[in-house]
């Protein structure tokens, strides 16, 4: 089985920071976010089965630590862009779960007025730039957001998320090259769940440690345990500071795993990976890992956790009610937003 983490030779994160006392509120927020995303996606799967949601639905159950940990270090004026498995990134950015669910339902109150669907979440208020269904398509666009930050003389950053499949695309290499060349404040976060759809990492990449590709572009690269939200937060936090202050881009590889199939049309995910492998990774469930740690450190009691879960379930139920009640887009929406 592939390793969960590996520190870079270019710049290693100090272990000490991970063992330092973490602000209780921060940890509770991280737990809340991950649980919210988990419950949102579980509910989405249920709604898909009921026919409320159609098309492609790519869930990231098991991968929540990566987006939550990374986005937790951002300022509101920073930018985030993702691919087609981006529900979590959008929710972690603070988007309203009701609008997100309405988007999945294809309703007018959805984030994109029901015209984007699962693969095209956008939220301008939160500088969330999408939402693309073309593997790797977001890499140069996120790079462009970084370009614009420098052009305007700002100190924001852009987090650009993608999967291990994107690394095989030309635009991955073009983007990292330009970002390093032009010193753009972009943090490239490869959420390596070990499968490009159904093809194992070892069958798609000649070098399976993705973070090592940073060296070819002269930027720092780091591999981090993508099931450990605190480790992700720490690694991305450092990269964000470096990007803000020194305009140095970073490639971060979060080693993670999706517990479900590539999409709802791959429910068993059994053709290309074994039950044993999935079960082994489920022992590293990022929510359980954080919860265990918090309860061990006395930061959260079982009762508090159950209370949080209950509150989240109410939020999700309300999101479903909201989405269900929202009308379908009126027919004139067919021809609006084609041009400004």
In the complex, which residues of this chain contact other proteins (CB under 8 A)?
Answer: 79, 81, 110-116, 120, 122-124, 127, 129-134, 137, 139-149, 151-152, 158, 170-171, 174-175, 177-178, 181, 336-340
Q: How far is residue 228's CA from residue 66's CA, in Å, rounded to a whole number?
A: 8
What residues does 224 pair with on adjacent strands? 254
The rounded Cα 58 to chain-centroid distance in angstroms is 12
| Residue with Cβ nearer other proteins (303 or 338) | 338
| Residue with Cβ nearer other proteins (41 or 123) | 123
**Closest distance to other proteins from the beta carbon of 244 (Å):** 16
**Closest distance to other proteins from the beta carbon of 153 (Å):** 10
The count of other CB atoms within 10 Å of the CB of residue 206 is 6
The count of other CB atoms within 10 Å of the CB of residue 286 is 27
**Closest distance to other proteins from the beta carbon of 109 (Å):** 10
**Closest distance to other proteins from the beta carbon of 39 (Å):** 25
Coil, strand, or helix at residue 30? helix
**Closest distance to other proteins from the beta carbon of 180 (Å):** 11
| Residue with Cβ nearer other proteins (294 or 319) | 319
| Residue with Cβ nearer other proteins (62 or 116) | 116
> Distances in Å between the alpha carbon of 263 and those of 44, 56, 333?
12, 6, 28
**Closest distance to other proteins from the beta carbon of 328 (Å):** 13
Dihedral of CA 14/30/122/103: which sign?
A: positive
| Residue with Cβ nearer other proteins (171 or 230) | 171
Q: Are 253 and 207 in contact (CB under 8 A)?
A: no
Q: How far is residue 90's CA from residue 122's CA, in Å, rounded to a whole number?
A: 8
**Closest distance to other proteins from the beta carbon of 115 (Å):** 5
Q: How far is residue 225's CA from residue 68's CA, in Å, rounded to a whole number?
A: 13
Residue in the block written with tokens 């074994």:
274
Q: What angle do CA 315, 108, 317 make, to 5 degrees?
A: 15
Q: How far is residue 243's CA from residue 178's CA, in Å, rounded to a whole number?
A: 15
**Closest distance to other proteins from the beta carbon of 186 (Å):** 9
| Residue with Cβ nearer other proteins (16 or 339) | 339
Q: How far is residue 11's CA from residue 185's CA, in Å, rounded to a whole number?
A: 17
> Distances in Å between the alpha carbon of 18 and those of 14, 62, 70, 86, 225?
8, 21, 15, 27, 12
Residue in the block written with tokens 């769940």:
193
> Distances in Å between the alpha carbon of 255 and those of 134, 156, 217, 249?
22, 26, 21, 19
| Residue with Cβ nearer other proteins (7 or 173) | 173
**Closest distance to other proteins from the beta carbon of 130 (Å):** 7
Residue of 256, 240, 259, 260 lying closest to 248 (CA atoms): 240
């Amino acid at each position: 089985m592939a390793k969960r983490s590996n520190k870079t030779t270019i710049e290693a994160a100090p272990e000490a920071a991970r063992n330092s006392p973490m602000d209780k509120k921060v940890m509770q927020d991280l737990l809340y976010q991950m649980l919210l995303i988990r419950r949102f996606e579980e509910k989405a799967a249920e709604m898909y089965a009921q026919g409320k949601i159609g098309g492609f639905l790519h869930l990231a159950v098991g991968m929540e630590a990566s987006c939550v940990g990374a986005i937790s270090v951002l300022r509101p004026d920073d930018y985030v862009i993702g691919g087609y498995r981006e529900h979590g990134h959008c929710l972690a950015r603070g988007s309203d779960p009701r609008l997100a669910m309405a988007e999945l339902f294809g309703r007018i109150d959805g984030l994109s007025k029901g015209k984007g669907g699962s693969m095209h979440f956008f939220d301008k208020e939160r500088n969330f730039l999408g939402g693309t269904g073309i593997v790797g398509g977001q890499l140069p666009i996120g790079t462009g957001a970084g370009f614009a930050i420098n052009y305007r003389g700002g100190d924001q950053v852009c987090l650009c998320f993608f999967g291990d499949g994107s690394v095989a695309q030309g635009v991955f290499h073009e983007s990292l090259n330009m970002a390093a060349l032009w010193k753009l404040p972009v943090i490239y976060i490869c959420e390596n769940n070990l499968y490009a759809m159904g093809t194992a990492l070892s069958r798609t990449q000649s070098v399976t440690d993705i973070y090592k590709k940073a060296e070819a572009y002269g930027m720092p690269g780091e591999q981090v345990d993508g099931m450990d939200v605190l480790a992700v937060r720490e690694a991305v936090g450092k990269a964000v500071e470096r990007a803000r202050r020194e305009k140095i881009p970073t490639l971060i590889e979060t080693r993670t795993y999706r517990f479900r199939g590539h999409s709802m049309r791959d429910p068993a995910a059994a053709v290309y990976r074994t039950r044993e492998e999935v079960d082994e990774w489920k022992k590293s469930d990022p929510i359980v890992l954080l919860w265990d740690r918090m309860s061990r450190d006395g930061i959260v009691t079982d009762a508090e956790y159950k209370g949080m879960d209950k509150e989240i379930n109410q939020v999700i139920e309300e999101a479903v009610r909201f989405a269900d009640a929202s009308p379908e887009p009126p027919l004139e929406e067919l021809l609006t937003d084609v041009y400004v």
